[in-house]
Amino acid sequence: MLTKNELKYIQSLYHKKHRDEEQLFVAEGPKLAEELINSEFVIKHIYALDTWIQKNPAIKVPLTEISEIELGRITNLQTPNEVVVIAEQAKTFGEPELPGHLTIMLDGIQDPGNMGTIIRIADWFGINQIICSNDCVEMYNPKVVQSTMGSILRVKCWYKDFESLEFKNSTPVFGALLNGKNIYAVGKVKEGVLVIGNESKGIREPMLSKITHPVTIPKLGGAESLNAAVATGIIVGCLVNGGE
Amino acid sequence: MLTKNELKYIQSLYHKKHRDEEQLFVAEGPKLAEELINSEFVIKHIYALDTWIQKNPAIKVPLTEISEIELGRITNLQTPNEVVVIAEQAKTFGEPELPGHLTIMLDGIQDPGNMGTIIRIADWFGINQIICSNDCVEMYNPKVVQSTMGSILRVKCWYKDFESLEFKNSTPVFGALLNGKNIYAVGKVKEGVLVIGNESKGIREPMLSKITHPVTIPKLGGAESLNAAVATGIIVGCLVNGGE
């Protein structure tokens, strides 16, 4: 049973301002709940239907049984899914380490579905560092969290002012541009930064002039562009696996 | 100015049943409107703001100027965008030609955003044939139309009963499975069928047992799967461009 205050509190976490203040986020559904429970993230509260509680008898965090009607009031999903978890946002985890790693940089990704899908792609290909420009959609936006399918728990995301970022001369900076090297001919890369641009404007200054390795996905048909997450999947996959 | 009947009629086209009956679909925004006007598709009516009409003075199809309030009533977008076009669905265009072509087959793609993005990927890589199982989301669903970004005008989609499909023995049938050949090592392919599975169940029978060339996108991290459209982009890109 939910009190009126609890209901209001949970609903407030669907607004960035309140998430920032409380340093919390919301994740929904049995899959994400299970991954959160088995992760190092701190769970503040679980709200779940009786059906979920019966399948998860050994829960050691604060837990409230709710009805389907109550779930319908606190969910952000079109099809509510058994359980809503309130968890603490990851604490600061140091600075990204560029040498020896592949790192994704997102220059103004706006769509929460794209952001979540890119985090999932990074996780699939074993990349665990993403640096986002300050105007990217927030990683704890509920639509981002859901579309990562749990990868948000494994990939570290930083938000940075791109104006003040400096790269060492030795760091290769890849970016998809119109006249770059064919990405299918680049071969495997063990270290570097891959910049993905905004959905409509592409890669903007100041990042644009920092690109040392322009790459291109060859276009053979009529489409003007590829979706940002699809382009990320293609380029990351080639950089990680290419040339085998 | 919209009459009450026009308003009702346009709104009815956001339902599949009425689209099927009328053999029409709705496309929104200046980009799609421009592509439709320059395509072979038959436009039935354009509803547009004064701003759009001034930029497009030579329109030769039935056109009604509407107010922003009226646009708000007939749009399916969160951010209405100047113009709504009602167009005729493509007439039957013969059967898909498998020999000598790459063809995408979609086995139960449910999400309209995935479907639209896959049509856009096909168009980018010069593939203009997609065969959908009958339980795929409808290609003229407004969310599919919008997320193709115009590619729906260039890529042919058929809906088929997969139970009764027969392939010639010579047609290679590619499908992403857990234990297939590394897709980055497959090399360029000029002819064949690529099967993409349902978002949660993957490739199902009867297609599963028709796959002659299982392929795999190597997984290096923790994500359980990739988004269906991202996987399509990666596999199609490798089949079209690989081994260069």
Kindly state whether residue B175 falls inside one of the protein's structural domains: yes
Lookup result for tokens 């899908």: A117
d(CA B74, CA B87) in angstroms, rounded, equals 15
**A178 interfacial to chain B (CB closer than 8 Å):** no
Percent of chain B scored above 90 by pLDDT? 90
Nearest to A153 by CA among B219, B224, B199, B227: B224
Whole-number average pLDDT of chain A: 95
Whether residue A237 sits in one domain with residue A214: yes
CB contact under 8 A, A224 and B128: no
Whether residue A82 sits in one domain with residue A36: yes
| H or E segment and range at residue A21 | helix A16-22
Q: What is the CATH number of the domain that holds B202?
A: 3.40.1280.10
d(CA B8, CA A185) in angstroms, rounded, equals 54
The model's pTM is 0.94
Q: Write down which residue in A42, A60, A88 finishes a domain.
A: A88
- Give pLDDT tens digits for B183-206: 999 999 999 999 999 999 999 999
- Residues facing A174 on adjacent strands: A194, A213
Which residues constitute the domain of residue A229? 102-241
Strand order in the sheet with A63-65: A24-28, A83-88, A43-48, A63-65
- Give pLDDT tens digits for B101-115: 999 999 999 999 999
What single string gives the DSSP state of each residue in B178-199?
Answer: EEEEEGGGS---SSEEEEEEBT
Kindly state whether residue A108 falls inside one of the protein's structural domains: yes
Whether residue A233 sits in one domain with residue A155: yes
> Residue B166: pLDDT band by 50, 70, 90 thresholds?
confident
> Residue B158: pLDDT band by 50, 70, 90 thresholds?
very high
- Give pLDDT tens digits for A70-109: 999 999 998 999 999 999 999 867 899 999 999 999 999 9
Q: Write down which residue in A40, A56, A88 finishes a domain.
A: A88
Query: Regarding beta strands B102-107 and B129-133, do their DSSP bridges make them parallel or antiparallel, or are they unpaired?
Result: parallel
Residue of B nearest to A127 (CA): B221
8 A C-beta contact, residue A137 and residue A110: yes
CB contact under 8 A, B124 and A238: no
Q: How many residue pairs bridge chain A and chain B with CB atoms within 8 Å of each other?
A: 124
**pLDDT at B50 exceeding the cut of 60:** yes
Whether residue A80 sits in one domain with residue A115: no
CB contact under 8 A, A229 and B226: no
Whether residue B189 sits in one domain with residue B223: yes
Look at A92-106, A193-207, B111-125 and tell me which has the smallest mean pLDDT. Answer: A92-106
d(CA A83, CA A52) in angstroms, rounded, equals 7
Q: What is the pLDDT of residue A94?
A: 87
Residues A170-179 have a mean pLDDT of 92
Q: Write down which residue in B44, B60, B88 finishes a domain.
A: B88
**pLDDT at A233 exceeding the cut of 70:** yes
Domain count along chain A? 2
- The residues in A 17-46 lying below 8 A from B, measured between CB atoms, are none
**pLDDT at B173 exceeding the cut of 90:** yes
**B77 interfacial to chain A (CB closer than 8 Å):** no
Cβ neighbour number for residue A71 with a 10 Å cutoff: 21
Whether residue B149 sits in one domain with residue B57: no
**pLDDT at B92 exceeding the cut of 80:** no
Nearest to A109 by CA among A83, A76, A143, A81: A143
- Give pLDDT tens digits for A18-55: 999 999 999 999 999 999 999 999 999 999 999 999 99
Mutate to test the interface with B, among A151, A184, A200 (most CBs of B within 10 A): A184
